Each structure stands twice: as structure tokens, then as C-alpha cells.
Amino acid sequence: MKINALKKELDGVLPGLAASIAISLVSQFFARFLPTLGAALIAILLGMLLGNTVLNRPELSSGTKFSEKRLLEYAIVLNGLILDFQVLKSAGIKGFVFILLQMGLTIFVTYRLGKVFGFGKRFSLLMGAGNAVCGSSAIGTVSPVVQADNKEKGISITIVNLTGTALMILLPLLGAVLYGSDTLRTSALIGGTVQSVGQVVAAAKLVNDDVVTLATVFKLMRVLLIVGVAVLYGRMNMNEGESLFTRKKRSEITAGEESGASATPAAVSYGVPWFLTGFVVFFLIRSFIGVPDSALIASKAISTQFEVAALAAIGMRVKFADIIKEGPKAMLYGLTVGAAQVVMAVVLIRVFFG
């Protein structure tokens, strides 16, 4: 059965997969001349442009669907190799608690602001994960958990990347004003707030190499905690108008529909997706067994290629009509969330690091 399902999934994927890879390669080329934007954002925007014009063809649908789902999952698994316990120790217990609080508050505030702006649970939770954890990868990780559709996924990834680009430019300046040359606090501000790993490194590079190292450690703690975020999201009720942490059991829904009675909500949990299990396994292998440097370099390179190709595919599947309808409000929502993240980070840094 699994072999037949795999054959069915691979049927007709080559044209869309090839288009996604081609866009990712072009995006990485342009990123050399536009490092402020980065390959990820360029891939999304170029994918959207081509997917709504010359590549708006039904025969590409299977391949782009495969690319956005599978390639991003493979990238997430490989990202487990870039972490180990020794790397995380350098930020200390205070640093870890700072990250926990920053992430928790970001998800909570993002969800509440989503309700204020009139967005549904799924989109608000995608935005929460993308801003709290690691941008596109986090959204790709939790989107199947919350059963988000392509429009919600595409718009949230686009908005989170645009917000991250703005913070990538502004936070080194803000850090210089608030903290001068202090490495720890500047690193916490950048590593605890900026959305993607690439954007963190780029922002930290505008300060100095010491900030690059420590900001990356703060960021990697956020990446590792994606497992906890996904498990938490799996326990949430995605039905609009119902309590977030309850869900009707399937048997009760069926019985209720047959009898006409209302079903009693009950807490449920989801299984951990296979790619999160793979992420944790690779993390443990790196931490306790060790991995050759050549394997680490190769896994990082492959992961980057998979992720950019997946983002190109996601861009191709986003339609301009949806962006026009939701985009301006979503962009304002994203910028508001970004501003709230910065304020929360500054307050927490004052509490933990003086």
C-alpha cells in the first residue's frame, strides 16, 4: 500500500519539481547581488510572479505540491544535524529561559492580534510559529498539524519573510543604540527575534563576528523548540468559535450528527509528524555520537537547496487574487507582530541580562 501511495504521489511531479528547482537556483543567483532580501524571499516572490503568469499551468500542480510538502520536510530533518547540546550551552540557563518566554509570548500575542485583525485560528497560529521559531521552516512544520490550506501557508510565509527582512535591517541599528557594543544583549535581541536562521546571520554580520556566533546559538534554541510548538499545536482545536484546547471526538461527532444532539468537547492530541521525529533523531546523533564535518557541510547545503525549492513551489501556488484580498491587512498584522516581538525582547533582555 505504501509503495502504491508513493507511486501515486510521484505521478506527474517532474514538471513542477523542475520548475521549483529552477526558480530556487535563479533565486540563489540573484541573492548574491541582493543579500538583504535573501534567496528564500526572492524564491517566494519569483515563484508568485511566475506562478501567476507564464507558469500558471495545471500540469505543474502535482510537482509544486510535492515540492512544497516533501522537500520542506526533508530540509527540516536535515536541520537536526546543525544542533547539539554543547552549542546550546553557550547561552546559559538564563538564555534558554529568555528564549522560552520570548517564544511563548510571541505565539500568544500573535494569536490574540490575529483575532483583533479578524484572521482565523489556522492563519494566526501559522504566523505565531513563523515569528516565534524560524520563519518558513516553522510554518512548513506546523501547517499539516493545523491542517492549513495553501493560501494560509503561502501568505503567512510571505508576510513572515517580509517582516524578518525589515527586522534584519533595523535590529542591528536598534541594538547599537540600546546596547552599544555589548555582545550578549545584542545577540539576544537579534537571535531571539529575527525570523529565519539566514536573516539572523545576516543581521548579526552587520554588527560583528562575535554577535554572529552567539545570536546563532539563541536562534538554534528556537529551532530546536519547534518540536514542542508542533506538539502544542497538535493539541489545539482548529474549529472556529470553539475553545482552543478542546476538540470533539470523532465518535462523538458522528453520534451527535446522527442523533441531532450537540457533542461534548474533549481534549485530543496528534501524533508527532515523521519529519519532527527525524529532526530529533539527527539532533541526538549529532549530540551523543558525532557526525563528520563533511556530513554536516553536505547536510546544510542539501537542506538549503530543499528549503529554497520548497519556498519557490509555495510561491507558485499562491494566487495574486488571494494576496490582493488579504495582503494589506496581513502585512499590517505582520508588522504589528514584529514590533510587539521587539518590545517583548527588549523588556526580557532587561530582566535577564540587565
Round to whole Å and give the CA distance between 259 and 85. 54
Span 219-226, mean pLDDT?
Answer: 84
* Range of 231-235, 274-278, 339-343 with top mean pLDDT: 339-343
Q: What angle do CA 133, 168, 134 make, to 5 degrees?
A: 15
Residue pLDDT, tens place only, 32-62 = 998 877 787 788 889 989 999 999 898 898 8
258 pLDDT exceeds 90?
no
Give the Cα separation of 163 and 167 in Å (integer).
Answer: 6
Cα separation, 352 vs 276, in Å, equals 30
pLDDT tens digits along 308-349:
898 888 788 877 776 677 678 888 999 999 999 999 999 999
pLDDT of residue 266: 37
pLDDT above 70: percentage of residues in the chain: 86
pLDDT bin (cut points 50, 70, 90) of residue 83 is: low
Q: Are 101 and 343 in contact (CB under 8 A)?
A: no
Widest Cα–Cα separation across the chain: 68
The confidence score (pLDDT) of residue 348 equals: 96
pTM, two decimals, is 0.68
Reply yes or no on whether the pLDDT at 250 is more than 80.
Answer: no
What is the radius of gyration, based on Cα positions, of the chain? 20
Could you tell me how many residues make up the chain?
354
Over the chain, what HEC string results? CHHHHHHHHHCCCHHHHHHHHHHHHHHHHHHCCCCCCHHHHHHHHHHHHHHCCCCCCHHHHHHHHHHHHHHHHHHHHHHHHHCCHHHHHCCHHHHHHHHHHHHHHHHHHHHHHHHHHCCCHHHHHHHHHHHHHHCHHHHHHHHHHHCCCHHHHHHHHHHHHHHHHHHHHHHHHHHHHHHCCCHHHHHHHHHCCCCCHHHHHHHHHCCCHHHHHHHHHHHHHHHHCHHHHHHHHHCCCCCCCCCCCCEECHHHHHHHHHHCCCCCEECCCCCCCHHHHHHHHHHHHHHHCCCCHHHHHHHHHHHHHHHHHHHHHHHHCCCHHHHHHHHHHHHHHHHHHHHHHHHHHHHHHHHHHC
HSE (CB half, 13 Å, CA atoms) of 82? 22
Percent with pLDDT over 90 in the chain: 30
Per-residue pLDDT, averaged over 63-90, amounts to 78
| Cell 552599544, located at residue | 180
Q: Is 265 exposed, middle or buried (0-12, 13-18, 19+ CB in 10 A)?
A: middle
- Summarize the confidence of residues 120-139 as an average pLDDT: 90
Q: Are strands 265-266 and 247-248 parallel, antiparallel or unpaired?
A: antiparallel
Q: What is the pLDDT of residue 286?
A: 87
CB-count burial class (<10 Å; 0-12, 13-18, 19+) for 181: exposed
Q: How many Å apart are CA 110 and CA 153, to the nearest integer?
A: 16
